Amino acid sequence: MRFPSKAISSTLSARLRAFQIYGANTNVGKTIVSTILCKALKESRDASAQLLKLEIHNVLIHQTSHVSKFSGVTTSCLWQFNDPVSPHLAVPQELNLTDSLLLDKVHNHISSLSNEKGTFILETAGGVHSPTPSGSSQADAYRPLRLPIILIADPALGGISASISAYESLHIRGYDVDRVVVFSNEPYRNDSYLSPKDVGDEEQMLEYYARTAESQELFDLIGDLHSRHAARIQDIKSMPQRAADKIWYPFTQHTSVAADNIRAIDSAHGDHFSVYTPPTVAVSEPAEESAEVLAPRYDGSASWWTQGLGHSNPELALSAAYAAGRYGHVMFPGSIHSPALKLSELLLEKLDNPRLNRVFFSDNGSTGAEVAIKMGLRASRERYGWSSEDKDIGIIGLKGAYHGDTIGAMDAADPGIYNKEVEWYKGRGFWFDFPKVGLSEGKWKVEVPGEQQQELGTSHEFGSLEDIFDISRDSTELAEKYAKYIHTQLHQAINVEGRKFGALMLEPVVLGAAGMHFCDPLFQRTLINVIRNSADLFPQAKLTPAKPAAELVASKATTAWTGLPVIHDEVFTGLYRLGSFSPSHLLHVQPDISIHAKLLTGGLLPLCTTLAGEEIFKSFLSEHKHKALLHGHSYTAHAVGCQVALDSLNIMNTMAEAGEFSIAPSEGKTQTSRDKLWSKWSSEFTTKLSHSPKVESVWALGTVLAITLKAQETGYASNASGWLMDRLKGNGIDARALGNVVYVMTSVSTEDAAVRGLEEVVKGFEEW
């Protein structure tokens, strides 16, 4: 499912009441209902329903004249075709009537009426899934509008089934079906009226409409539709205040939260939210307030880095429902079900890492990190013969690391703004600062932090980002310096200070929460190589002969861990977020344990997998139950999450194989191959930004764009990004800032045209 690139919000006006009529089948009386409704509204006894404007849009077929004739209201028809076959056949190809064009025209038409008081009815053609001119389903094509639905049921034999199924097709696309209308077959035999084009007796029709317009049922139906419309608006407008009173937001300082800065999300579609934003108290009311309640907002943080295939993707909704309908949740220990097994096999296959052959399921990145830590520490404890009473085993990592918010995951990160106030937090480890990659004034550079500059130099310039990832850098002088520096630091901690470490834990390539820090891949690879190959730091490492890094990478047979188990936390950077299936492929490193979440379900539901190899697995084998890996959540490997993950990974893999991402799979390549890196964002755009005097550096890789602004104070608390965030917000883009770093990301499936559109908007800011 590709989503329209244009920002369209759902339609909801405080004045115009808009509804959509779908039929459970063709020929079920949609036009009759439209006519009845129009006539009744025109003659309404309800004084408050002043019908200034009333239109019928039967977009694709040709019965507007019937409605006008018998109801007397204005009707219009955007396109009219005289062949009573399915629209995708009836519409001449040369019209090139795409879904975007169709949606745009309908949306603009409704918008043009939205300040007028009245009722608007959009009547669709055929059944709910009858094709649009482009061949897609109407239920999908009109979904961005998310108008309340009047579903006309099928009164024929077999119509109960068709009507329920039609309802379900609408419901699982997130439509609200306000009313189901059905013509009774008996005793009035209204079915003889169901085919307006065949009506021969005009007098009979007039008599029929006159009679129905008087009915109490119809009066009640209209009243009910109108009160639902009013209730919907009242509800959404009340939501920010109710949320301010009742919700405790995650990772949020509530002193800055009030009703007027909480947005109510009515729905989402593709990369856009449809939101109600309460009026800011500070701003005076505009002279003439728009009646539009909802506006589109671009989801610039991909909803905390989770989105891959667009919000409200009907394929993923169907996947979720299939697994719910087949299994619900089923007990995992001692059992296996197909979605969990196939997902495990797919991950193992696509990661293509002989060091990984087992999959452990948990619920999110944080729990997955705790599982990885438990795995790594136990493996080291067994290898090095430490006591289970020894609670002071730490981990080695990078500064600014973030692995989640449970206490164990917090403890694996150095003290900082995300954890230091937490009562039970205790940083357990050693964290290296590291050289960072960025594009600055049109040049790709690796910038070394102050405290390392004496050993590692100040800054290193490269011709391209591909040069920075080139594995032949392993044999450069800088690699040697990195190795020496790292070794010296670890020697001090381990051999001099006597500290113990049980694992190396890294976010490969980019440290997200730290501030979208792009670590020099050579530094990460060298750190891993030093730990894997230094028998003086990890004496048992001698058991396996130390090998040069390149050889280790080359040898598929190397599956035993040496030195320390290497954990890759790929929760943010994995599964195509940076363009490759795994960032480990970009790094040309095979971790011993890896963690995958966020994009795993394409952005629908929580699920996490922690993968490890047989040797680590075996360190938990014992005759004692309690030496097992003591971790398990009730919903471990829940079928709904596994099925959605399986299907969304398959969709993304198919896109990748079709060349929609240009990072080729690493298999069969030599180590020194310089894979072309891929980004949603154009290099023309990032280069231009990198020349701005306001910009320290910028980078884009895969779906992510990160802009580091020049600032006095850096880090999470910095406010240097204020102007840019305001500018983005003013242009309908919900970005997030990490101190002086502003990032915007896309889904994997975002249309290129949409990204070009974003770039045009951002480039146009005068402040640059």
One-letter amino acid of 603: G
CA angle 694/696/700 to nearest 5° reads 110
Nearest approach in angstroms of CB 641 to a copy of itself is 7
Residue 261 binds a copy of itself (CB under 8 A): yes
Q: Decide the pairing of beta strands 459-462 and 443-447.
A: antiparallel
The site that binds a copy of itself (CB under 8 A) totals a number of residues, namely: 169
Q: Name the minimum Å distance from CB 490 to a copy of itself.
A: 20
Structure-token pair, residue 322:
């299939």
Q: How far is the C-alpha of 626 from the C-alpha of 671, rounded, in Å?
A: 43
Please report how close the Cβ of residue 366 comes to a copy of itself at its closest, in angstroms: 7
Is the Cα dihedral 502, 508, 514, 520 positive or negative? positive
With contacts defined by CB under 8 A, name the span among 215-223, 366-374, 449-457, 675-683 that binds a copy of itself: 366-374
Partners of residue 299 on adjacent β-strands: 734
Q: How far is the CB of 296 from a copy of itself (least distance, A)?
A: 13
Q: Is 311 in the site for a copy of itself (CB under 8 A)?
A: yes
* Span near a copy of itself by CB under 8 A; candidates 109-117, 172-180, 454-462, 749-757: 172-180
Residue 581 burial (CB count, 10 A): 24
**Residue of 219, 327, 765, 768 that binds a copy of itself (CB under 8 A):** 327
User: Shortest approach of a copy of itself to residue 694 CB, angstroms?
Assistant: 23
Shortest distance, position 209 Cβ to a copy of itself, whole Å: 24
CB closer to a copy of itself out of 256 and 712: 256
Single out the residue of 206, 543, 628, 753 in contact with a copy of itself (rule: CB under 8 A): 628
Three-state secondary-structure class, residue 65: helix
598 binds a copy of itself (CB under 8 A): yes
CB atoms within 10 A of CB 459: 13
Contacts 24+ apart (CB under 8 A), 546-552: 549/474, 549/525, 550/471, 550/474, 550/475, 550/671
Instruction: Pick between residue 235 and residue 467 the one whose CB is nearest to a copy of itself.
Output: 235
Minimum CB separation of residue 347 from a copy of itself in Å reads 10
User: Looking at 219, 384, 617, 768, which residue binds a copy of itself (CB under 8 A)?
Assistant: 617
Interacting residue with a copy of itself among 47, 157, 496, 557 (CB under 8 A): 157
CB atoms within 10 A of CB 258: 13
Q: Rule CB under 8 A: is residue 722 a binding residue for a copy of itself?
A: no
CA atoms within 13 A on the CB side of 489: 21
Instruction: Return d(Cα 507, Cα 229) in angstroms, integer.
Output: 48
User: Which stretch, 72-80, 115-123, 323-331, 753-761, contacts a copy of itself (CB under 8 A)?
Assistant: 323-331
Cβ within 8 Å of residue 339, ≥6 positions away: 323, 327, 639, 642, 643, 645, 646
Q: Could you tell me which stretch among 39-47, 170-178, 679-687, 690-698 binds a copy of itself (CB under 8 A)? A: 170-178
39: left (phi over 0), alpha (psi -120 to 50) or beta: alpha
Q: Tell me how far, at minimum, the Cβ of 345 lies from a copy of itself, in Å.
A: 7
Q: What span, in angstroms and rounded, lies between the C-alpha atoms of 58 and 77?
A: 6
Strand, coil or helix: what is 133?
coil
The Cα-based distances of 729 to 278, 697, 715, 737 in angstroms read 14, 22, 21, 12
Tokens at 542, concatenated? 């001698």
Strand 733-734 relative to strand 295-299, pairing: parallel
Closest to a copy of itself by CB, 306 vs 562, is 306
Residues 6+ apart with CB under 8 A from 581: 350, 351, 574, 575, 653, 656, 665
Q: What is the nearest approach in angstroms of a copy of itself to the Cβ of residue 267? A: 5
Interface with a copy of itself includes 419 (CB under 8 A)? yes
Does 166 contact a copy of itself by CB under 8 A? Answer: yes
Chain positions 420 to 449 lying near a copy of itself, rule: CB under 8 A, are 420-426, 428
Residue 675 within binding range of a copy of itself, rule CB under 8 A? no
Is-cis flag, bond preceding 187, omega within 30? yes
Residues 103 to 122: which contact a copy of itself by CB under 8 A?
A: none
Closest approach, Cβ 194 to a copy of itself, in A, equals 12
DSSP, res 49? -
Task: Considering the complex, state which of residue 418 and residue 523 has its C-beta at the smaller distance from a copy of itself.
Answer: 418
Q: Residue 340's Cα: distance from chain center in Å? A: 21
Binding of a copy of itself at residue 11 (CB under 8 A)? no
Taking CA atoms, 63 is separated from 74, 132, 190, in Å, by 13, 17, 19
Q: Which residues pair with 292 in a beta bridge?
A: 13
Cβ(297)–Cβ(272) below 8 Å = yes
Tell me, residue by residue from 495 to 524, as one string, x for binding to a copy of itself by CB under 8 A and - for no binding.
Answer: -------x----------------------
Coil/strand/helix, residue 218: helix
The one among 324, 546, 554, 725 contacting a copy of itself by CB under 8 A: 324
Residue 228 as a binder of a copy of itself (CB under 8 A): the answer is no
Of 222 and 375, which has the nearer Cβ to a copy of itself? 375
| In the complex, least distance from residue 163 CB atom to a copy of itself, rounded to whole angstroms | 8
- State how far the alpha carbon of 510 is from the alpha carbons of 400, 443, 585, 674, 701, in Å: 11, 19, 13, 19, 10
359 binds a copy of itself (CB under 8 A): yes
Q: Which of 120, 142, 418, 743 binds a copy of itself (CB under 8 A)?
A: 418
Among 320, 478, 656, 762, binds a copy of itself (CB under 8 A): 320
Residues with Cβ within 8 Å of residue 522, at least 6 apart in sequence: 468, 473, 474, 476, 478, 479, 482
Q: Which of 48, 82, 93, 253 binds a copy of itself (CB under 8 A)?
A: 253
- Establish if 337 lies at the interface with a copy of itself (CB under 8 A): yes
Task: Name which of 17 and 337 has its Cβ closer to a copy of itself.
Answer: 337
Q: How far is the CB of 330 from a copy of itself (least distance, A)?
A: 5
The smaller minimum CB distance to a copy of itself, of residues 130 and 353, is found at: 130
Rule CB under 8 A: choose which of 621, 654, 713, 752 binds a copy of itself: 621
Residue from 20, 197, 215 nearest 106 by CA: 20
Please tell me whether residue 620 binds a copy of itself under the rule CB under 8 A: yes
Closest CA to 264 of 517, 12, 516, 529: 12
- Site for a copy of itself contains 631 (CB under 8 A): yes
DSSP letter for each residue of 307-332: -SS-BT-HHHHHHHHHHHHHTSS---
Tokens at 402, concatenated: 């973030």
362: helix, strand or coil = strand
Q: Which two tokens stand for residue 480?
A: 């040697």
Contact letters (x/-) for a copy of itself, 368-397, by CB under 8 A?
A: --x--xx--xx--x------x-xx-x----
Expressed in angstroms, the distance from the first to the final Cα of the chain is 36
Q: Of the two residues 309 and 483, which places its CB atom closer to a copy of itself in the complex?
A: 309
CB of 564 to a copy of itself, least distance (A): 14
CB neighbours (10 Å) of residue 179? 16
Q: Give the one residue of 45, 82, 85, 286 binding a copy of itself; rule: CB under 8 A.
A: 85
Binding mask 13-52 for a copy of itself (x = CB under 8 A): ----------xxxxx-------------------------
- Indicate whether 249 belongs to the interface with a copy of itself (CB under 8 A): yes
Using the rule CB under 8 A, which residue among 92, 223, 279, 325 binds a copy of itself?
A: 325
